Amino acid sequence: MVISSKSDYGWDSMLKKEPWFQQDGATCHTARATIDLLKDTFGDRLISRFGTVNWPPRSCDLTPLDYFLWDYVKSLVYADKPQTLDHLEDNIRRVIADIRPQMLEKVIENWTS
């Protein structure tokens, strides 16, 4: 999915909370335009092969994203078998928007215990 501006996908409201952005640093995720957008958006809060906090490609380190979030999102996004790109994008936006901070806090709590 391509994010063309900071206003795409509700970033404006999210950025007011000063979140960190993490990517795995795989070469397919590190096009110059992508890294420039992420640095402009997140500043020092970028965890990436080209961010202020280095995250190597194909790292063996697991995160809650790896062991929970992606499978959770995928299972809900594809539950109704979207047949068009618009339907798929709508599902992705809906599923991501429905994730509550309490769920993520519980995932992190379980991961660290």
Per-residue pLDDT 10s for the chain (113 aa) are 445 555 554 556 555 677 888 887 677 778 888 889 889 888 888 888 887 787 766 666 667 777 788 889 999 999 999 999 999 999 999 999 999 889 988 888 887 66
pLDDT at 57: 62
48 close to 17: Cβ distance less than 8 angstroms: no
Stated pTM of the model: 0.51
Q: Please count the CA atoms within 13 angstroms of the CA of 35 that sit on its side-chain side.
A: 16
Q: What is the pLDDT of residue 12?
A: 61
pLDDT at residue number 110: 81
State the pLDDT at residue 10: 55
